[in-house]
Chain A
Amino acid sequence: MHLPEPCGPVSARVVEILSAQRAPMSADILAGGSVLTDRDAQLALWTAYEMVYRGFDDVDPCLEWDADLIGLRRLIEDRFECELRAVTADRVAEALARGGEVGDLVLGLVADDEGPHLSSYLRRDATTDQMCDYLRERSVQQLKESDPQAFLLPRLQGRAKVALAELQYDEFGAGDPSRLHQDLYARTLRATGLDPAYGAYISEVSALSLASANVMSLFGLNRRLVAAGAGHFAAFEASSSVPSRRVAAGLARLGLAPAADYFEEHVEADAVHEQIAARDICGSLVRDDPSLLGEVVFGVACALHLDALAGAELLSRWERIDARAARSEAS
């Protein structure tokens, strides 16, 4: 994989830093407005984070800890985190007021979420092009599925650590390389005629798809956000089992059953993982330190918020395309 083509001043700056063509950094490089939907900022953050994961063929790996790169990363992270805290504040406050056992609280928040029904649409109505669009957008996070959460492990202790390790053992194939979940996703891409290479669609996916992947790295790579990372992970797992069943059915409906293996696996796997993540990881964390409850719930709320935005984005994109097609048919 090579460095992506920049699409604005922030991603150009990250690429410039990684290409060792330095100029002094300016704090006002970021545009105003939402960072969640700012593709330039999210691509910049994704590219900066990628130095911690697989890097780029054309970049010196020593730049992983380059001070300029980390400085710019923190600049974007600050804005990203502030915005996430602002947009989730009400949901977090309501959940904390509701109280109750942590596992129940986390799973209840996910169950009560009234997001757009992207997976129902994929099951019943999506065309092959729309299904592929969905698979492409999600590839940014699924091809490194569970990698960001691996950074949580050394930051947890006791039962929470044991539970995360148990869950991740399953994510990473449970001893069988052919069951590694991120590779199952690559096989899904291949089976639908898409490019299974890591990073293949970076230049095409939306800001929100990048943000959905980046939030996991934000929580995984900043130790102070470990509880938010646990909450996010639990919500992510808890909003996967039923939607995975729908996506698998949608793929079968489109004659793409061979691509459904990844989703079939997640029906049963995530029915287990959501319980472990909510009760054993989040539950143990908060039992050991009750002050972490707010951060766990913040992580849950971030996952729900981004999932709702990303789902709504795809549904409205397809609605626009359908409307345009209908208009051109009528004319």
Chain B
Amino acid sequence: MSRTVQVQPCPRGPVLVRGAEVVVDEDGAQHPVTRPVVALCVCRRSSRKPWCDGTHKAIRDDLR
């Protein structure tokens, strides 16, 4: 059965992912998806990687 994973990048924010079951990070660690939509950190400053924790809001625009 084919599954659709939907990816929605948010300007100056995370990437929203719908339909995924597991997110595998760059070290190969598996992170099970437990909510209908997850936000993946792209600023790399989150304390909850791979998930966004809102930290990107504290980063100045010129450092983004």
A279 x B14 contact (CB < 8 A):
no
List 26 A-B pairs, Cβ < 8 Å: A104-B11, A111-B57, A170-B37, A174-B34, A174-B36, A241-B53, A241-B54, A242-B55, A242-B57, A245-B53, A245-B54, A267-B53, A268-B35, A268-B38, A268-B39, A268-B53, A269-B35, A271-B14, A271-B51, A271-B52, A271-B54, A272-B35, A272-B52, A275-B39, A276-B37, A279-B10
Q: In whole angstroms, how far apart are the Cα atoms of A189 and B39 in the complex?
A: 28
Q: What is the minimal beta-carbon distance from B33 to any residue of chain A, in angstroms?
A: 11
Q: In whole angstroms, how far apart are the Cα atoms of A241 and B46 in the complex?
A: 12
User: Please, which residue of chain B has its CB at the minimum distance from the CB of A163?
Assistant: B37
Q: What is the minimal beta-carbon distance from A271 to any residue of chain B, in angstroms?
A: 4
A169 at the interface (CB under 8 A from B): yes
Q: In whole angstroms, how far apart are the Cα atoms of A170 and B47 in the complex?
A: 22
B47 x A245 contact (CB < 8 A):
yes
Q: What is the minimal beta-carbon distance from A162 to any residue of chain B, in angstroms?
A: 11
Q: What is the minimal beta-carbon distance from B49 to any residue of chain A, in angstroms?
A: 11
User: Please, which residue of chain B has its CB at the minimum distance from the CB of A264?
Assistant: B48
A276 x B48 contact (CB < 8 A):
no
A270 at the interface (CB under 8 A from B): yes
28-50 of chain B: CB within 8 A of chain A: 34-39, 47-48
Pick from B34, B48, B53 the residue with the most CB of A within 10 Å.
Answer: B53
Q: In whole angstroms, how far apart are the Cα atoms of A267 and B57 in the complex?
A: 13
Interface string of A165-176 (1 = CB under 8 A from B): 010011000100
Interface string of B51-64 (1 = CB under 8 A from A): 11111011000000
186-239 of chain A: CB within 8 A of chain B: none
Q: Say what secondary structure dominates the interface of chain A.
A: helix
B20 at the interface (CB under 8 A from A): no
Q: Say what secondary structure dominates the interface of chain B.
A: loop
User: Please, which residue of chain B has its CB at the minimum distance from the CB of A243?
Assistant: B54
Hey, which chain B residues are within 8 Å of A245, CB to CB?
47, 53-54
Hey, which chain B residues are within 8 Å of A279, CB to CB?
10
A272 x B39 contact (CB < 8 A):
yes
Choose one: A104, A166, A268, A276; the contact of B52 (CB below 8 Å).
A268
Given contacts A269-B35, A274-B54, 6 further A-B contacts (CB under 8 A): A166-B36, A241-B53, A268-B48, A271-B14, A271-B52, A272-B14
Q: In whole angstroms, how far apart are the Cα atoms of A174 and B48 in the complex?
A: 20
A271 x B10 contact (CB < 8 A):
no
Q: What is the minimal beta-carbon distance from B35 to any residue of chain A, in angstroms?
A: 5
B36 x A170 contact (CB < 8 A):
yes
A242 x B37 contact (CB < 8 A):
no
Known pairs A267-B48, A275-B13, A279-B10; A174 contacts B35 (CB<8 A): yes
Q: What is the minimal beta-carbon distance from A321 to any residue of chain B, in angstroms?
A: 31
Q: In whole angstroms, how far apart are the Cα atoms of A14 and B1 in the complex?
A: 58
Hey, which chain A residues are within 8 Å of B23, CB to CB?
none
Pick from A170, A242, A275 the residue with the most CB of B within 10 Å.
Answer: A275
Hey, which chain A residues are within 8 Å of B7, CB to CB?
none
Q: In whole angstroms, how far apart are the Cα atoms of A276 and B37 in the complex?
A: 9
Q: In whole angstroms, how far apart are the Cα atoms of A274 and B10 in the complex?
A: 11
Interface string of A262-293 (1 = CB under 8 A from B): 00000111111011100100000000000000
